Amino acid sequence: MLKIFKPVFSALLQIALLGLGLWWLLDSGAQSMGYQWQWDRVPDYIAFYEDGEWWPAELIDGLFVTIKISAISLFFTLVIGLGTAMLKLSDSVVGRAIATGYIELIRNTPLLVQIYLLYFVFGPVIGLDRFSTAVLALSLFQGAYTAEILRGGLNSISKGQFEAAKSLGLSPFHTYYDVIIPQLLQRTLPALTNEVVSLVKNSSIVSVMAIFDLTTEGRNIVSETAMPFEIWFTVAGIYLLLTLSLSALSALLEHRLGASWRTQ
Amino acid sequence: MNAIDFTNVNKWYGNFQALKNINLTVNKGEILVICGPSGSGKSTLIRTVNGLESISQGEISVLNQPIVDTPAGKVGMVFQHFNLFPHLTVLENLTLSPIRTLKLSKQEAADRAMHYLQRVNISEQASKYPIQLSGGQQQRVAIARSLCMEPEILLFDEPTSALDPETIQEVLDVMVDLASDGITMMCVTHEMGFARKVAHRVIFMDQGEVLEMATPEQIFSAPQHPRTQQFLNQILSH
């Protein structure tokens, strides 16, 4: 009992000391700037109570937009990533060239520049609305990284799996759907989790195109209320909660996907 | 009726000729054993039958049709390294393609799977994952998986080469049992005891060529080609 209790207790103590130290540093800094903490006003921007019901306020609205953008972009990220990885491993010279060109172009230019290009140039040209442009920008960006992860994963699956599927008469679709992709996900899940987390964080950049995501809402509240410390800490806290839950979900999924055969 | 016909089949990897002018007919229900040193083209030869290897020249027909028209699952294959699907249970490995390809219901596929698992004496392992089984058990599962597609032809690519000596026999017993069943079999193997027992014909290959083709009695007692004599001396001497 003591064996478990002692390290946990000492860890908690260390975290508490560190937290107190940081708090002191921040508070004394704020005081010397003459900053007035107004934490009591923050909850109003998360949710408010009216007519006997709780209503989501700006920050929660923003969180839902962030989740929606991230979720739709995640779907397209995986589709683009898998498609690109398969193209890059294909026998087609043109296919490989397209995949390599796409990956290098996206990986070697800043996301913000890509968003501006899509928002001001390509979006209007092909008639996309703001939300779709945001989803397109994020999926194209994250898809390039995901493609390389999935390509590595595909390379690690033995040729024998494809041969067995073929000799059993499985169609290419079912070969991937039933045989290859489940193994691919299990192997690449830790790296894919990184991509999902960075997708959620990168979604904050779409605030430059007037989409009311969590970051945009935060900035608007700050400009109305002049309490940047409280609001930005709260926004950061909400992002942290979101990404930490995703990591936890991934750990659970990894356990479930691999529990019975991961020793191979 | 012919199960497989090779007509003037050639295959090159770059400058290296893997198959040289193969002309061969495998009859329906025949057990054909292919032996030869490594690199002689035996595996390449049987892998052309189900399209895992392409050919550069010539023609192969399976069940009197070009191989591109072979119905799914009619030519089954058993691999040296089993190639079971590690993320699926034994039962799921067996039912996957019957459900997806032959459109059987889950229940029909499971019944069929249990039937063939009993046939290879391994029905008690149905809910386990491949990694939990021994090599011999995995190979018997792989054989049952092929049988679930009810193939007319079964190809064996060194099915016992990756096994512990102790478990080789259990796989050979299953293969002997299948041989008595009338299924057409093409086996690449070094198990000469198996060849002697069940093969109708034995082929000896070297450097991509079929050097000798005869009944097991002929080839083991009086091999004609000096290269066959040398090879058989080496593998039968111990």
Q: How confident is the model at residue B174 (pLDDT cuts 50, 70, 90)?
A: very high
8 Å CB contact between A87 and A96: yes
Domain that holds residue A117: 64-211
Q: Over chain B, what is the mean pLDDT?
A: 92
pLDDT at B47 over 80: yes
> Which domain CATH number covers A116?
1.10.3720.10
Share of chain B above pLDDT 70, in %: 100
Q: For the residues B219-230, what does the mean pLDDT come to?
A: 89
> Global pTM?
0.84
Cα distance between residue B13 and residue B47, in whole Å: 14
The fold of B1-72+191-238 is Rossmann fold (3.40.50)
Instruction: Tell if the CB–CB gap between A179 and B85 is shorter than 8 Å.
Output: yes
pLDDT at B212 over 80: yes
Determine which of A44-53, B24-33, B220-229 has the lowest per-residue pLDDT on average.
A44-53
Tokens of B108: 């029909």
Cα distance between residue A46 and residue A59, in whole Å: 5
Q: Does the CA dihedral A161-A166-A167-A169 come out positive or negative?
A: positive
In a domain? residue A147: yes
In a domain? residue A20: no
In a domain? residue A230: no
| Test mutation, B85, B129, B146, B150, chain A, max A CBs within 10 A | B85
Q: How confident is the model at residue A264 (pLDDT cuts 50, 70, 90)?
A: very low
Q: For the residues B145-156, what does the mean pLDDT come to?
A: 95
> How many angstroms away from the CA of A93 is the closest CA of chain B?
19
pLDDT at B158 over 70: yes
In a domain? residue A231: no
Instruction: Tell if the CB–CB gap between B101 and A170 is shorter than 8 Å.
Output: yes
In a domain? residue A115: yes
Cα distance between residue B156 and residue B82, in whole Å: 10
pLDDT at A262 over 70: no
pLDDT at A263 over 50: no
For A14-71, write each residue's pLDDT tens digit. 999 999 999 898 888 888 888 888 888 888 888 888 888 888 888 999 999 999 999 9
Instruction: Tell if the CB–CB gap between A178 and B75 is shorter than 8 Å.
Output: no
Residues of A in contact with B149 (CB under 8 A): 168-169
Q: For the residues A227-253, what does the mean pLDDT come to?
A: 90
Minimum Cα–Cα distance from A171: chain B residue:
B101
- For chain B, the domains span 1-72+191-238
In a domain? residue A80: yes
* pLDDT score of B238: 60
In a domain? residue A57: no
Minimum Cα–Cα distance from B156: chain A residue:
A167
By Cβ distance, the residue of A160, A260, A263 closest to B83 is A160
Tokens of A104: 């290098």
- Cα dihedral A60, A61, A66, A68 in deg (nearest 10): 120
**How many separate domains does chain A show?**
1
Cα distance between residue A260 and residue B86, in whole Å: 9
Instruction: Tell if the CB–CB gap between A164 and B130 is shorter than 8 Å.
Output: no
Share of chain B above pLDDT 90, in %: 78
Backbone φ and ψ of B50, nearest 5°: -110, 20
For A77-117, write each residue's pLDDT tens digit. 999 999 999 999 999 999 999 999 999 999 999 999 999 99
For B73-87, write each residue's pLDDT tens digit. 899 999 999 999 999
Please tell me whether the interface predicted TM-score (ipTM) of this complex is above 0.85.
Answer: yes
CB proximity B83 to A under 8 Å: yes
> How many angstroms away from the CA of A166 is the closest CA of chain B?
8
Tokens of A177: 């759907």
Those residues whose C-beta lies under 8 Å from the C-beta of residue A199, and which sit 6 or more positions away, are A70, A73, A74, A77, A138, A142
